[in-house]
Structure 1
């Protein structure tokens, strides 16, 4: 699939891009513009507003987007978006892709419900840098310099996809690390927060309940009880989730063998790793990697078939 095969604006009912692709664009739309996807999207949608105002809804959640707002829609939930009623226009960057597993914890504090993440407000001094990251995402998706539609770029192979995702990751990290976040849950102990930071910083480290407890000056039993009570999961469950997210990213971005991915993610046994990865992501590690690459290189869509872009269905008030 090529960018020139995509319509500048979508046809009603046309599905979103495959999650195996990275598709990036920049639109400046007028009143009456809107997208309505009653079955949602197979891929994540990231939007960064640079002018005017937009409105995005996902399930029962809805937000209005102004310049400096990063709004993200997770896949699988009915959604729609368009120019905010009464606004003169909506200028925004957008990117469809499969979000890296490591991004989910960054976005979690901004979840408004139904998988709609409103990362806002991003501090004004960072707006130019976030937009620059989206511009690089667009440029890198065209690597090594394909001539395509001015507004839309599609990553055609692994290098272009990874470069584009790295640029988009900068935009997501800048936004989620600096926007005003909700306060931590009442009563969250600083020692538990510190343990969470230790796990996030080194998922491959040989952490145990005893070692984590020692680093935050608690007894193992007290630490395990407090961590579970305040986070809703045990320390070892939190560690396993962090290791699985790290492993998924290695599978996406490298050619390391499954055995080396397991070891680099803190799993002593590749057999155990394969079993828990399959349970978490729905396919074994090798198939997970193959599925992503197959989606990139062998999208079964006839040339000229529109698969993306915004239909002219204004979001109802």
Structure 2
């Protein structure tokens, strides 16, 4: 499953959406190997059973059950699984646009990140939430996958904090929970109080965290997510604009149209015509 995303003002966004996101779980027979290969994405590999040794750019490191290893674009890598028993691993892959601002952002993240860490409870919850969408036939599920993948990536980084160069710290756990809630429930009539309750913080605290780390507000992020979901449906389905508006959480198509113009500078109809003309 993959999705398209067109982040606005990307140089000002600390966490751009991936252009594609993928999740999976795989069993390898005893003695299984993967590679050598060149990594194309940001990929996090989680070992659930057996053992794993990962060699990246000539450096080998063991991965134990319950640990996550993060691989970065351009790395020369090879995976060697347990020689005596079946190994089970999960993985999350994020493909980012190759714009200079995003490339710089990824370099900053890589410089501050640990190559390996334990999978937290939050990370596992995010993975499980994403896998529940695998069989969804709703095109909007693809965008939800991208949000969940980005949240998983930020959760991987959350123990790092600021480095000496003053790079941006990973997101607060409450913001990761907020993103997960929005990705899963954007079509529901969520309020600020609902989001705060889902994150186990007060509304004031959530707004403050959101302004400090994301330069936005929880409700603005919710509306932007609804717009992005709606635009994805405009491009990939024949649903009417009214049907799409209601499906992604707008009270009426006029509100959806106004939000589309604010975010993309075009009406829903114009966005659809542009997308379909490009495909044709």
Query: TM-score, with normalisation over the residues of structure 2?
Result: 0.46
Larger Rg: 1
Report the structure, 1 or 2, having the larger helix content. 2
Ranked by relative contact order (alpha carbons within 8 Å, sequence separation 6 or more), the top structure is 1
